[in-house]
């Protein structure tokens, strides 16, 4: 890449690298800071008296005898039963990803292969639905869900999240299937397969990269959602994010902010691992819609 058109003089190199370092600190430091602080007591996490306490844990040493403490995690996971929410999150994410991918691959495949005008309208409506804020839909769900006793269950929330996810999944898989040559399934059909058999035997084996990418984003949507889960789940069925929000209401008064801090770290950790493992897929997924149009 060292040709003349892209070469940079030293001054510009210095400028871009210092800007980049500044941005990286801005992006990563808050997470490191919170991770470090989550093993301290509240007096150190919010250290008004001496900021060095936050680093070396002066109050933590005074209160617990060590520089690090697991009290926040113990309080959140055991005392406040955060493990239950973690389990609920796991169930919700797994079901949402599986169901939305099943429906999405079928729909996205059909949309990419149909040349009729209604396929376009279908996608246009999906785009409009994608733009609708979920919280506005929630106000439409509440009354019927109360009337029919559907409110509060994990299964209801899963279906709702799948539906909210569908427009995005369809767009993404549609763009992805467009890149799989038509000749592939058409030749299978010439050989006597019907459409579904062609899909089953020819398309499914080659579709996994796109499906994995789309699945990651479905997972993120389900995992990160707050508007739907907080309004539609009863207290004992709460997933991690609404549970964290409920900590803010109850524990801040009890002086147990550290429960919330521990919960924040617990929610973030799996996402860190996910980005580390799937970085390439995430990057390609974010750009799929843009670069291919």
Partner 1 sequence: MKHSTFFWFVLPSAILMLAFIALPIVSIVTQSLYTSHEQVLVTVENCGPFGCTEVTSVDQDATQALKAAEPLGKWAGLDVYKDRNHLAVAEVASAWVNADGLPDFGRTLMNLPFYAALAFTLTYTFIVTPLTIVLGFFIAVAVNAVAKALKGPTIFLTLLPFIVTPLVGSLIIFWMVDARGILGTGLQWLADDPTLSVKASTPLMWIMLMFYGIWHSAPFAFVVFYAGLQTVNTDSLEAAMIDGANRWERIRYVVIPHLFPLVTFVALIQLMDNFRVFEPIVSFSAYAHANSLSIAIFNDLGGETRLLSSAAATSVLTIIGVAILLSPVLVRTYRDFSNPR
Stretch 141-170 residues interacting with partner 1 (CB under 8 A) = 141-144, 147, 159-160, 162-164, 166-167, 170
Q: Please, which residue, 23 or 94, has the CB nearer to partner 1?
A: 23
The interface with partner 1 within residues 258-277 (CB under 8 A) comprises 260-261, 264, 267-268, 271-272, 274-276
CA distance 175 to 170: 8
Q: Which residues pair with 152 in a beta bridge?
A: 233
Q: How far is the CB of 234 from partner 1 (least distance, A)?
A: 14
Residue range at the interface with partner 1 (CB under 8 A); choices 59-67, 77-85, 205-213, 257-265: 257-265
Q: Which residues pair with 233 in a beta bridge?
A: 152
CA distance 32 to 257: 18
DSSP helix/strand/coil, 274: helix
Q: List the one residue from 47, 157, 218, 237 that touches partner 1 (CB under 8 A).
A: 47
Q: How far is the CB of 160 from partner 1 (least distance, A)?
A: 6
Q: Please, which residue, 69 or 162, has the CB nearer to partner 1?
A: 162
Chain-centroid distance of CA 91 in Å reads 14
> Who's near 248: CB < 8 A, 6+ residues apart?
260
Q: Which of 241, 180, 247 is nearest to 210 (CA)?
A: 180
Running DSSP on this structure, what letter comes out for residue 38? T
Q: How far is the CB of 228 from partner 1 (least distance, A)?
A: 10
Q: List the one residue from 134, 150, 197, 246 that touches partner 1 (CB under 8 A).
A: 134
Q: Please, which residue, 65 or 131, has the CB nearer to partner 1?
A: 131
Please give the sequence-ordered ranges of beta strands (E in DSSP) within 177-284, or none if there are none. Answer: none
289 binds partner 1 (CB under 8 A): yes
Cα four-point dihedral sign 129, 177, 188, 196: negative
Q: Please, which residue, 69 or 157, has the CB nearer to partner 1?
A: 157
Q: How far is the CB of 104 from partner 1 (least distance, A)?
A: 7
The interface with partner 1 within residues 62-101 (CB under 8 A) comprises none
The interface with partner 1 within residues 22-41 (CB under 8 A) comprises 23-24, 26-28, 30-31, 33-34
Residue range at the interface with partner 1 (CB under 8 A); choices 21-29, 57-65, 75-83, 202-210: 21-29
DSSP helix/strand/coil, 114: coil
135 binds partner 1 (CB under 8 A): yes
CA distance 124 to 174: 12
Q: Please, which residue, 69 or 138, has the CB nearer to partner 1?
A: 138
Q: Please, which residue, 91 or 257, has the CB nearer to partner 1?
A: 257
Give how far Cα 193 sits from Cα of 102, 114, 185, 208, Å.
21, 18, 9, 21
Residue 56 host element (H or E): helix 52-56
Q: List the one residue from 74, 84, 86, 129 that touches partner 1 (CB under 8 A).
A: 129
233 binds partner 1 (CB under 8 A): no
Q: Which of 269, 265, 255 is nearest to 34 (CA)?
A: 265
């Amino acid at each position: 890449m060292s040709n003349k058109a892209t070469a940079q003089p030293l001054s510009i190199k210095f400028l871009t690298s210092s800007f980049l370092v500044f941005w990286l600190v801005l992006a990563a430091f808050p997470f490191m800071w919170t991770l470090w602080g989550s093993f301290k007591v509240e007096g150190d996490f919010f250290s008004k008296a001496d900021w060095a306490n936050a680093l070396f844990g002066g109050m933590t040493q005074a209160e617990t005898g060590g520089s690090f403490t697991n009290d926040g995690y113990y309080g959140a996971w055991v005392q406040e039963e955060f493990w239950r929410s973690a389990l609920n999150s796991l169930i919700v994410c797994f079901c949402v990803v599986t169901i939305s991918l099943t429906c999405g691959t079928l729909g996205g495949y059909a949309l990419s292969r149909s040349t009729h005008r209604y396929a376009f309208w279908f996608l246009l409506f999906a785009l409009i639905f994608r733009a609708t804020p979920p919280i506005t839909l929630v106000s439409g769900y509440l009354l019927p869900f109360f009337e029919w006793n559907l409110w509060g269950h994990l299964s209801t929330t899963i279906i709702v999240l799948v539906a909210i996810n569908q427009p995005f999944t369809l767009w993404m898989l549609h763009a992805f299937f467009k890149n799989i040559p038509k000749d592939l399934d058409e030749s299978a059909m010439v050989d006597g397969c019907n459409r579904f058999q062609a899909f089953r035997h020819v398309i499914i084996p080659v579709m996994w990269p796109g499906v994995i990418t789309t699945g990651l984003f479905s997972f993120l949507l389900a995992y990160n959602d707050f508007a739907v889960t907080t309004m539609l789940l009863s207290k004992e069925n709460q997933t991690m994010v609404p549970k964290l929000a409920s900590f803010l209401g109850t524990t801040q008064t009890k002086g147990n902010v550290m429960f919330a801090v521990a919960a924040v770290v617990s929610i973030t950790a799996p996402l860190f691992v996910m980005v580390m493992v799937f970085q390439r897929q995430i990057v390609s997924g974010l750009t799929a819609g843009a670069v291919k149009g």
